[in-house]
Amino acid sequence: MLTKLKFLLFGIFLLFNYQLNFAENIVSTFNGKVIKSDSLTNASYSFISWGHWYGSIMNLSSILPSSTLLANINSINKLQPSFIMGMGDIYRNNDSLSFSNFQALILNTITSPIFNAVGNHEMYGRTFYESHFGKTIYSFKIKGELYIVLDSEIALCELEGEQLTFLKNKLDSALHDNSIKNVFIFSHKLMWITIDNCMEVFKDINSSYQCYDDTTFKNQIYPQLVNLSDKKPVYWLSGDHGFSLFYHKIKDHNLTFLACGINDCEEDAYLHFSISNNDQVSIQAHSFVGKKLMPVENYNIDYWKNHIYHMNTIAKAQLMLYNKYFWCGIAISLLILLIGITLLRLRE
């Protein structure tokens, strides 16, 4: 009888252990690679993240990923991060050629599991994207870290409806779950940019800054983030174009906002997070072109104020030419001029 009981208990243990391991193996829907989180229980691990994988906003006919990314596939594979988190705009167009190039050059060559917080370019074909890669709002846990992935394109820079409820519930759960030591949130749009004086510099490098006028983040999410960060570190990462690297830590709180988006240029970089076996987080920035970079904390509001002020004339002209409000102003001016000329001719 005792022997049978031992076998029964052993069988229950094996079944439980199998289910636990199965549940903890997180599979990428992008390249089928697996995060075997059960094997990381007593080990350190790392992940890397950046946005805007297709590169330059000026290259309107691009059907390939950024050249700076393509040139670094081997170095990324040698780094062997536990996973890679894209932060939106991982390909530019939803046509078959652009997508097949993305599959062949990125998904079939990168050896680490890939995940993504969708950007506007993927969502020009939402049905297509979801049929290939699944849900755009999700979360997963590795050791003591909770990873929350958002879809900033559902309501264009805003948090509302099911997604707002999802995020608030996840943050509340993390607050009361002692097994969670760090919280990471990913979005394409910089939904947090209205805090402090971050918008002061962002509006000079991203013409879509006016979409960030939603009060939900400030009134509902930000207080919850601050409250959570007083108990455990919270990091929110975003990857829309504009900031090659940006770092902002809230004073007197363990709440940090970061941005990183590549533009097929010498400023291109990615963020490298290392999590120790006791859940301590360190962050480094690595250049895609071999450029020596400062500590990531240095790419703050003051850095960007100075950087924008000293930008060369060509760079400023490029920003201006891509700014939709510049072209709106040109169109309105031409219309007024045309009306004026017409009125003068009628008087004659």
Number of Cβ within a 10 Å radius of residue 196: 13
Encoded tokens for 221: 């999410």
Q: State in Å, rounded, how far the first CA of the chain is from the last one.
A: 114
> What is the average pLDDT across 151-160?
87
Asked whether 235 and 28 are in contact (CB, 8 A), the reply is: no
Evaluate if residue 7 carries a pLDDT over 50: no
Give pLDDT tens digits for 37-56: 777 877 899 999 999 999 98
Q: How far apart are CA 83 and CA 148, in angstroms?
A: 14
Encoded tokens for 70: 């393509």
Q: How far apart are CA 162 and CA 192, in angstroms?
A: 19
Give pLDDT tens digits for 112-145: 999 999 999 999 999 999 999 999 999 999 999 9
pLDDT-based confidence at residue 36 (cuts at 50, 70, 90): confident
Q: How far apart are CA 178 and CA 140, in angstroms?
A: 16
Q: How far apart are CA 247 and CA 257, in angstroms?
A: 6
> What is the average pLDDT across 165-191?
97
Q: How far apart are CA 236 and CA 149, in angstroms?
A: 10
Q: What is the pLDDT of residue 200?
A: 83
Residues whose CB falls within 8 Å of the CB of residue 159, separated by 6 or more in sequence, listed in order = 150, 167, 191, 214, 216, 217, 220, 221
Evaluate if residue 4 carries a pLDDT over 70: no
Is the pTM higher than 0.85? The answer reads: no
Residues whose CB falls within 8 Å of the CB of residue 306, separated by 6 or more in sequence, listed in order = none
Question: CATH for 30-310?
Answer: 3.60.21.10
3-class state of residue 293 by DSSP: coil
Q: What is the pLDDT of residue 39?
A: 73
The secondary structure of residue 221, as a DSSP letter, is I
Rg of the chain over Cα atoms, rounded to whole angstroms, equals: 23
Angle (nearest 5°) at CA 290 between 77 and 66 = 65
pLDDT-based confidence at residue 60 (cuts at 50, 70, 90): confident
In the chain, % helix, strand, coil (3-state, to 5) comes to 40, 20, 40
Query: If residue 101 lies in a helix (H) or strand (E), which one and from where to where?
Result: helix 96-102
Q: How far apart are CA 307 and CA 311, in angstroms?
A: 6
User: What share of the chain in percent tops pLDDT 70?
Assistant: 84
pLDDT-based confidence at residue 192 (cuts at 50, 70, 90): very high
Q: What is the pLDDT of residue 216?
A: 86
**Domain residue spans in the chain?**
30-310, 313-348
- Reported residue count of the chain is 348
Q: How far is CA 221 from the centre of its chain?
A: 18
